[in-house]
Amino acid sequence: MSAKNEIFVLVGSPGSGKGSVSHLCIKEFGWEQLSTGDLCRKHIAEQTEIGKEIDFAIKSGKLVSDSIIVDMVNKWLIDQIESGANVLLDGYPRNLAQAEALDAFLKDEKFADIGLRIIKFAVPDEVVVDRLCNRCICSNKDCQAVYSMAKDSPCKPKEDMVCDACASPLHVRSDDTIETIKERLSIYHEYEDSMLDFYTRKGNEILKVDATKPLVEVFESFKKVVGLKD
């Protein structure tokens, strides 16, 4: 892999393992991960101008606009780039408009040395449904560790429904039902298809990782496709 800074756009449905691979990259390489949800909450808590706009939209029952999200992410990216960190984008860009905004942002000559990698986590919907139906999450908002109760899963907690990291109770998300998961996947694929088509037309190589395999193997595959190992 080249010495220049890299931005890794992780593309894949909920439950494809992007978040788990991101955490391993943070632990092993010290990279920075974008969480738009965490960033929104940070701006709201600090009552920044962006935070006030996000808070107003949420309290009004509206979706936070792409323009607000793009502005927030661009400011965050500038900080990371200036610090020299490699960046993982998991959940951003979320749609074609955000992908086009990221492309426009990186066209600035100040960012000419920034590399952009698109990594697609390939996994069939039926595997995702099974994973998410068996998913449980730490109830501690400062932890939020994710586990799987699936049979033979290596990600089971040591004690039933208790977080290994902080000993808080685990819970199942209310929207992790077969019906809602299938609906979320259907909507997700529409956005994903338009984004991948955009990057393909631009000439970006779509690097693919087989995300059906165990996490350790997925991580090894990720490192191989991005040039971190032979």
Given a contact cutoff of 8 angstroms between Cβ atoms, the answer to whether 148 and 131 are in contact is: yes
d(C-alpha 25, C-alpha 34), whole Å? 13
- pLDDT score of 117: 95
d(C-alpha 122, C-alpha 225), whole Å? 13
d(C-alpha 114, C-alpha 121), whole Å? 22
Of 16-20, 29-33, 101-105, 194-198, the one with minimum mean pLDDT is 16-20
Chain centroid offset of residue 48 CA: 24
Q: Which domains does the chain have, with CATH numbers?
A: 6-123+189-225 (3.40.50.300)
d(C-alpha 103, C-alpha 161), whole Å? 42
- pLDDT score of 36: 87
- pLDDT score of 1: 42
Taking only the tens place, the pLDDT of each residue in 100-142 is 999 999 999 888 889 999 999 999 999 999 988 998 999 998 8
Is residue 230 very low, low, confident or very high in pLDDT (cuts 50, 70, 90)? Answer: low
Across all residues in the chain, what is the average pLDDT? 91
The three-state secondary structure class of 27 is helix
d(C-alpha 130, C-alpha 221), whole Å? 22
d(C-alpha 147, C-alpha 149), whole Å? 7
d(C-alpha 172, C-alpha 161), whole Å? 10
Taking only the tens place, the pLDDT of each residue in 29-87 is 999 999 888 899 899 999 999 999 999 999 998 889 999 999 999 999 999 988 888 99
Reading the block at residue 161, the tokens are 């429904």
